[in-house]
Amino acid sequence: MERFSNLLLCIVCIMLLEMPIRTVAQECSIVTGVRISDHNGTTRFVMDLSSATTFNIIKQNNPLHVIIEFPNLNWPTNINKLQRPIGILRDYYHKSLQLGTKRLTLKAICPVSVKKIFLLSPNIWTNYRLVIDLKPVGSFQSKSLNHKNTDFKKPIVVIDPGHGGIDPGAISISGVNEKNIVLSLAHIIKAHLDKSGLVKCVLTRDRDVFIPLRKRIEIGREANADLFISLHVDTVANPKIRGLSVYTLSQKASDKETQHLADKENKSDIVSGIDLSNESSEVTNVLIDLIQRESLNLSSIFAHQLIKEVSNETHQLLQNTHRFAGFAVLKTPDIPSVLIETGYLSNADEEQMLIRKEYRVKLAIAMKRAIEHYFAQTKN
Ligand SMILES: [Zn+2]
């Protein structure tokens, strides 16, 4: 009997506890706790909930974020920042949008996607739970991540500031040298990449020295570059022309280069890591051709990504922004390569912009984003 009255008391208590909730926000689920764990490369984010909830994964641009909106959610607890990343989760926060809608942002240490998301019904131990499983994407997927999160192989970008030393490159009427602008830009890009730590960045030159074109390509090879970016500033006779453009190797130039390379005797040199010395010339040609086509495709993917980021950030683009040419630095068959003409020193306005550090920082941030998005998008 005593047990029965205790049970009744409990039921009354639960009803009383539930009443204020119902009056404040009807059918609004309340977050009562959050748990994060990592297992075999999957990071699990669990929200304890007072009742079932609906949710939408929101598409957005930042590859490091997962955003989920809840149309009817109450999240009363204050969230403490994570002391250290757990799995690939660096941090998380939520904010209120319009009435009752909460937006949860999960910030990862590398490009991330939702592997699974599902709602679990209550059992005798727990209430409703929303389970969000996160996994790394793109190049970051290959190596399993441990708790220190330093072990995954970072993709490598080699940035090549054009000219240098005795070779000033283009010179504006007021005496601004191309070599100085591109060197500064390269340093800013590297600083931003190093800061976010997702991509390893190597410069072909970090000071005002002359480096021959062949040597620049060698540096790219020695660094095991996954992407090679040459930075330049242009001049033309028409002072009205301005804007950024991106060059990738033209198919015509690349076919010619492939033929030229294939005709050379020492073919094992051409594609690093693949010994072609015992292959017939036909096999060699086909292999080089395939690898070069793949590099061209990847170069174009990067070019498009860059154009998107730069137009978001600065809106300074040349007509037909993506162009094709046969520059020497673009001719490494197995490394996706682009050459960026960041603008025209022959245009007075653009010259003024390029010598301002704030503008170079804007450009550099757009390029850094394009590089990170490119690696998130493409696999090894
Ligand atoms: Zn140049």
State in Å: Cα 169 to ligand 1 middle: 5
Mean pLDDT across 267-289 = 57
- What separation in Å is there between the alpha carbon of 151 and the centre of ligand 1? 37
Q: What pLDDT shows up at residue 152?
A: 56
Nearest-10 crossing angle of helices 178-196, 357-377: 50
| Pairing of β 128-136 and β 42-49 | antiparallel
CATH code of domain 156-377: 3.40.630.40
pLDDT of residue 206: 95
Residue owning tokens 């000219």: 163
Q: How far does the centroid of ligand 1 lie from the alpha carbon of residue 340, in Å? A: 9
Instruction: For residue 92, give both structure tokens.
Output: 């998380």
pLDDT at 372: 94
In 235-301, at which residue ranges do the beta strands (DSSP E only) sit? 244-249
Residue 138 is given by DSSP the state: G
Using the mean position of ligand 1's atoms as its centre, give its distance from the Cα of residue 233 in Å: 6
State the pLDDT at residue 144. 38
Write out the DSSP string of 214-231: HHHHHHHHHTT-SEEEEE
CA–centroid distance, residue 176 to ligand 1 (Å): 13
**Are 142 and 152 in contact, with CB atoms under 8 Å apart?**
yes
CA of 164 to the centre of ligand 1 (A): 10
| pLDDT greater than 90 at residue 306 | yes
Instruction: Please state which of the ranges 137-151, 199-213, 288-302, 345-359 shows the lowest mean pLDDT.
Output: 137-151
Mean pLDDT of 76-80: 66
* Residue 280 confidence class, pLDDT cut points 50, 70, 90: low
Task: Return d(Cα 331, Cα 248) in angstroms, integer.
Answer: 9
Q: Is residue 249 over pLDDT 90?
A: no
Residue 247 alpha carbon to ligand 1 centre in Å: 12
Distance (Å) from CA 281 to ligand 1 centroid: 36
Asked if residues 102 and 95 have their Cβ atoms less than 8 Å apart, the reply is yes
CA distances from 66 to 115, 272, 352 (A): 11, 37, 39
Query: What's the gap in Å between 182 CA and the centre of ligand 1?
Result: 9
Contact between residue 367 and residue 309 where contact means Cβ atoms under 8 Å apart: yes
Chain segment 18-66, per-residue pLDDT in tens: 444 333 345 788 888 888 888 777 898 998 898 888 899 888 778 889 9
- Please name the CATH architecture into which domain 26-138 falls: Sandwich (2.60)
Helix or strand or coil: residue 65? Answer: strand
Q: Where in the chain do CATH 2.60.40.3500 domains reside?
A: 26-138
Convert 116-131 into a string of H (helix), E (strand) and C (coil).
Answer: EEEEECCCCCCCEEEE
Name residue, tokens 């190797």.
249
Q: Give the contacts of 311 (CB within 8 A, at least 6 positions apart).
A: 317
Give yes or no for residue 227 having a pLDDT over 70. yes
Residues ≥6 apart with Cβ < 8 Å to 129: 46, 47, 48, 49, 119, 120
Residue 275 has pLDDT above 60, yes or no: no
Q: What is the pLDDT of residues 149-188, one digit of tens each?
A: 443 578 999 999 999 999 999 999 899 999 999 999 999 9
What b/e sequence results for 11-22 when a residue is b if at least 16 CB atoms lie within 10 Å of its CB, and e otherwise? eeeeeeeeeebe
CA of 264 to the centre of ligand 1 (A): 29
Average pLDDT over residues 242-263: 70
Burial call 134-151: b when 16+ CB within 10 Å, e when fewer: bbbbbbbbeeebeeebee
Least confident of 112-126, 223-237, 242-256: 242-256
Q: Tell me, in angstroms, the distance from the centre of ligand 1 to residue 237's CA.
A: 15
Average confidence score pLDDT of the chain: 80
Least trusted range by pLDDT, from 153-157, 214-218, 232-236, 330-334? 330-334
Domain(s) labelled CATH 3.40.630.40 in the chain stretch across: 156-377
- Residue 183 contacts residue 164 (beta carbons within 8 Å): yes
- The CA–CA distances, whole Å, from 230 to 120, 272, 273, 309, 379 equal 51, 20, 23, 17, 22
